[in-house]
Amino acid sequence: MKKQTGFTLIELMIVVAIIAIIAAIAIPNLLSARLNANETASVSTLRSISSSQAQFQASAKADVDNDGQGEFGMFRELSGAVAVRTDVAGTNTGGSVLNPPVLSGAFRTLNANAEVSRSGYMFKMFVPDSAGVAVEETQSGNPLAGTLTSADMSETTWCTYSWPANYSTSGNRTFFVNQTGDITSTDDSAYSGTGDFDTANAEAAFVASATATQITASVAVGTTGADGNTWKQVN
């Protein structure tokens, strides 16, 4: 009669224990690698946005005051989703769609909070009004949310924030870039998910100023921003 062989209970328990140890070591490393990859992708995307803005402004595709000096654009204008604005209210009567676009087609679709979701991060763009206060983009229709922009200030100023869709799961650091091209970051669990940045706190990465919501002040590089966080230079 052929003798049947197999693993003993103790052997199976040893195997399970080894698998559990390996998992305990590997899973945190995998999560950390994922966070790092998302953060790296976010920084890379912000650099692309900065480059796209420079191209768009230099081409003067948006020049609502007809002074020959181009203004910076919004996500849907840069990506060719909507015709470039032709006045400070954001309407684009007679305007043309940017072709070819200077920004990825991923930025053509915005959520209800005028944000783009990409690689575990949320992105949002602002340009200034005549007082330097942030004006945000619309989800559909005209490029702007009805608030009048400043043609002159929009020739020199814009900013974009990028923050985790889920803090500690998709990323930890929040990033910022503006017309200088310098990227700064802070780590704050309060920045997590849609709706975290709007016109009320668009000055978060800037030094505290007398006028809240301004995006024309100096950027808080290595110092405390208007949100009370330290914003560090990203190399």
Return mean pLDDT, the chain: 91
Q: What is the arithmetic mean of pLDDT over 51-60?
A: 96
Instruction: Classify residue 87 as exposed, middle or buried by CB count within 10 Å of its CB (0-12, 13-18, 19+).
Output: middle
pLDDT at 80: 96
Distance of CA 153 to the CA centre of its chain: 21
This prediction has a pTM of 0.86
How much is the pLDDT for 5? 64
pLDDT recorded at residue 212 = 73
pLDDT value for 107: 97
Q: Which of 89-93, 182-186, 225-229 shows the lowest mean pLDDT across its residues? A: 89-93
Nearest to 166 by CA among 123, 226, 122: 122
Angstrom distance (rounded) from CA 1 to CA 19? 35
Please state the domain extents for the chain: 10-233
Q: Residue 210's pLDDT band (boundaries 50, 70, 90)?
A: low
Q: How confident is the model at residue 30 (pLDDT cuts 50, 70, 90)?
A: low
End-to-end CA distance of the chain: 72
